[in-house]
A and B are shown apart, each in its own frame.
Chain A
Amino acid sequence: MSRAVPLAVLASRVRADEKSIFEAFARRGIAPQHLDSRAWWHQLGDRGPRPTVLNREIGLARATYAARALESAGATVVNSARATELCGDKWRTSAALVEAGLPTPRTALGLTPEAALTALETLGYPAVVKPLQGSWGRLVAALPDRRTAETVLEYVAALPSPQARIVYLQEWIAKPGRDIRVVVVGGEALAATYRRSEDWRTNVARGAVSELCALTPDIAKLAVMAAQAVEAEIAGVDLIEDGTGEVLVLEVNHGVEFSGLQQALGDTLSVADRIVDHLLTKSRPCAA
């Protein structure tokens, strides 16, 4: 005798993305448990019914610790704790991409702002400095020359958190006013959008506009390989084109926001339905 494995969605904010996922469950007659991470807690050693949990927690710290705790209790978490940790740290993402042999901008890590200034002499100007953790383009700064780098790094040196004073640097890529966002689910690239902006940071959160991009086999393959490199089953892969037209992997997002992509897709494909379908493949029956 077997029974269905329970399904749950971990989220503290139900945005349009999460609401569409709940609606996709409802279309299948499934009512997943909503775990509000603001109220959720776990005691080590507790082992429940081993649910399959979709991790849509917006806060990286809560998402990571919840995934670790749930996995310790035997749950299957999508994305896994490891994927969340890899995607949530830009240095670890870059290291995984390089380890997988994927094209990505040249990247350096300075353990102090002073070391970062030295690293920039090798990396060259212009360059970009980014926080190790963070999203939506926040606190990402262009460093066109040494004088600017000295100024920005002086502010970095004054930050209170020791982790914030570890400096992630990347070469500047002269992209053509856009980047490419590819949504990958279960090892398949579903769709891609160009994100265009007059600002050099092409984050939708900073006002970039999404429009559909032809999903070529090369782009699809690169995005799937990038998601695999960080072990993400559900991912938003950001790609940029350099001046020669080569496509580089910039980062991989474990908690992909897809409502903009869905608007561009219209009725041709439902990202939320594909996410739910993927979860259902993980939700195997278990002995009663």
Chain B
Amino acid sequence: MVTCPECENSVVPAGKPVIGEIVECGECASELEILTLDPLRAALAPEIEEDWGE
């Protein structure tokens, strides 16, 4: 479980978390990126850039 840095909601990653994983805060919909696993830490994920996509 990590704490959303935007709204302080508790966010639980689905399944086994991995470094770099993007999880969405269920409260404020912020995207968080898992930074470390032990301890489990997350930060706001980078903003979408112009050339991102499929």
Interface centre among B34, B50, B53, B54 (most CB of A within 10 A): B54
Smallest CB gap from A63: residue in B = B51
Give chain A's interface secondary structure class: loop
* CB-based contact B19/A60 at 8 Å: no
**B18 touching A60, Cβ below 8 Å:** no
- A36 adjacent to B20 (CB under 8 Å): yes
| Given the contacts A12-B20, A13-B20, A19-B18, A254 and B54 also touching, CB distance less than 8 Å | yes
Contact B51 A14 (CB under 8 A): no
Count class of interface residues, chain B: 10 to 19
Of A67-75, A130-138, A165-173, A189-197, which stretch is located at the interface? Answer: A130-138
A82 at the interface (CB under 8 A from B): no
| Chain A residues within 8 Å of B54, by CB | 135-136, 236, 253-257
| Cα–Cα distance between A256 and B54 once the two chains are bound (Å) | 5
Complex Cα gap A15–B22 (Å): 5
Q: Count of chain A residues with Cβ under 8 Å from any Cβ of B?
A: 25
> Which residues does chain B contribute within 8 Å of A222, judged by CB atoms?
none
Say yes or no for A264: interface residue by CB 8 A criterion.
no
- Cβ-defined contact, B22 with A133, below 8 A: no
> Is there an interface contact between B21 and A58, defined as CB atoms closer than 8 Å?
no
Question: Are B45 and A134 in contact (CB-based, < 8 A)?
Answer: no
Tell me the A residues contacting B by CB distance below 8 Å.
11-15, 19, 22-23, 34, 36, 58-61, 133-136, 138, 236, 253-257
Q: Can you list 16 contacts pairing A with B, beta carbon distance less than 8 Å?
A: A12-B46, A13-B20, A14-B22, A15-B22, A23-B15, A34-B18, A34-B19, A36-B20, A60-B53, A61-B51, A133-B51, A134-B50, A134-B53, A135-B54, A136-B53, A254-B54
**Nearest 6 CB-CB pairings of A with B:** A135-B53, A253-B54, A14-B20, A60-B51, A14-B21, A58-B52
